[in-house]
Amino acid sequence: MIVAIDGPAGAGKSTVARRLAERLGYRYLDTGAMYRALTWLAMTRDIDLSAGEKLGALAEENPITLDEGRVWIDDTDVTAAIRKSRIDRVVPVVARHPEVRAIMRTRQRELADVGDAVIEGRDIGTVVCPGADVKIYLNAERQTRAERLNAERQTRAERRLAERPEIGADALATDLRIRDQSDAERMMPAADAVQIDTTELDVEDVVSRIEQLVRERQPA
Ligand code: DC
């Protein structure tokens, strides 16, 4: 079973997808972390972020590994480094290149083919796994999404999955607006996705609702 969870930043995808995967005993794949890791690598190597072909080659030569919540490139653990706000700001520039998306799509499909998974991203239900068994599109009002991202940053820092936040809540809300614009073309819900507005819902309700959809579609 493949469960695709798409939607904009702060809609609740990561929390919902992680908990759902735990409940179902499925793998959890965060495709945004793969784009972030490539962005980190390109910045570390001083590669021009407008050079799509070079970035595609970089992605091909440096497979990214997702392992129990940690993100690796070769033997470097980049889990915390990819959550910095300077990565937030430029990752849409990297993710926009067709050469990059083609490599990521192939790699993400290989990961999906391994077995049951909850896959979080922007284009999972539309492009990466159009045949996914369950497709969900999560959304929420922008103010709520900014507040959630802010809370998530604190939690990640406490769990040592990220460094201390370098910018405040207002700057983060501005960054989010800019990111929404850059990501907009990849954010279309699949025609057959179940759309859930999570503004007024709590995580457990959303997870339970999706879990029910998965159980209904699981082979007897
Ligand atoms: O979900 P996130 O904020 O960690 O994603 C980081 C960036 O990667 C975001 O700008 C959108 C992009 N992305 C994408 O283009 N396609 C995906 N499947 C996942 C993320």
Sequential pLDDT tens for the chain (220 residues): 999 999 998 899 999 999 999 999 999 999 999 999 999 999 999 999 999 999 999 999 999 999 888 999 988 999 999 998 889 889 999 999 999 999 999 999 999 999 999 999 999 999 999 999 999 999 999 989 999 888 888 887 777 776 767 777 788 888 888 888 877 767 789 999 999 999 999 999 999 999 999 999 987 7
Q: What is the Å distance from ligand 1's center to 220 Cα?
A: 34
Same domain, 68 and 166: no
Burial 9-26 (b: 16+ CB within 10 A, else e): bbbbbbbbbbbbbeebeb
Same-domain check for residues 77 and 151: no
Dist. CA 219 → ligand 1 center (Å): 31
DSSP category for residue 101: H
Q: Does 4 map to a domain?
A: yes
101 lines ligand 1 (CB under 6 A): no
> Which of 14, 29, 30, 31 to mutate for ligand 1's pocket (most ligand atoms within 8 Å of CB)?
31
In a domain, 217, yes or no: no
Is residue 124 located within the same domain as residue 21? yes
Bridge partner residues of 29 (DSSP) = 119
CB-side exposure of 116: number of CA atoms within 13 Å? 14
How many angstroms does the Cα of residue 31 sit away from the middle of ligand 1?
7
Question: What is the domain range of residue 49?
Answer: 31-115
**Residue 121 near ligand 1, beta carbon < 6 Å:** yes
Q: Is residue 216 part of a domain?
A: no
The pTM of this model reads 0.92
Q: Report whether 161 contacts 21 (CB < 8 A).
A: no
Asked if residue 110 belongs to a domain, the reply is yes
Q: Is residue 135 part of a domain?
A: yes
User: Does one domain contain both 130 and 199?
Assistant: yes
Final residue in a domain of this structure, among 115, 131, 154: 115
- Residues β-bridged to residue 3: 118, 134
- Dist. CA 82 → ligand 1 center (Å): 12
Do residue 124 and residue 70 come from a single domain? Answer: no
End position of a domain, from candidates 90, 115, 140: 115
Q: Which residue has a Cα nearest atom 7 of ligand 1? A: 32
User: Chain centroid to CA 183: how far?
Assistant: 12
What span, in angstroms and rounded, lies between the C-alpha atoms of 15 and 28?
11
In a domain, 220, yes or no: no
In this structure, what token pair is assigned to residue 172? Answer: 């983060």
Domain identity same for 103 and 123:
no
CATH code assigned at 12: 3.40.50.300
**Does residue 2 sit in helix, strand or coil?**
strand
Q: How many CB atoms lie within 10 A of CB 155?
A: 11
Same domain, 144 and 200: yes
Provide the domain count of the chain. Answer: 2
Cβ atoms of 62 and 41 closer than 8 Å: yes
In a domain, 138, yes or no: yes
181 and 125 belong to one structural domain:
yes
Q: Are residue 154 and residue 195 in the same domain, yes or no?
A: yes
Spacing, Cα 162 to ligand 1 middle (Å) = 17
Among 47, 80, 115, residue at a domain's last position: 115
- 122 Cβ closer than 6 Å to some ligand 1 atom: yes
Shared domain for 195 and 127, answered yes or no, is yes
In a domain, 81, yes or no: yes
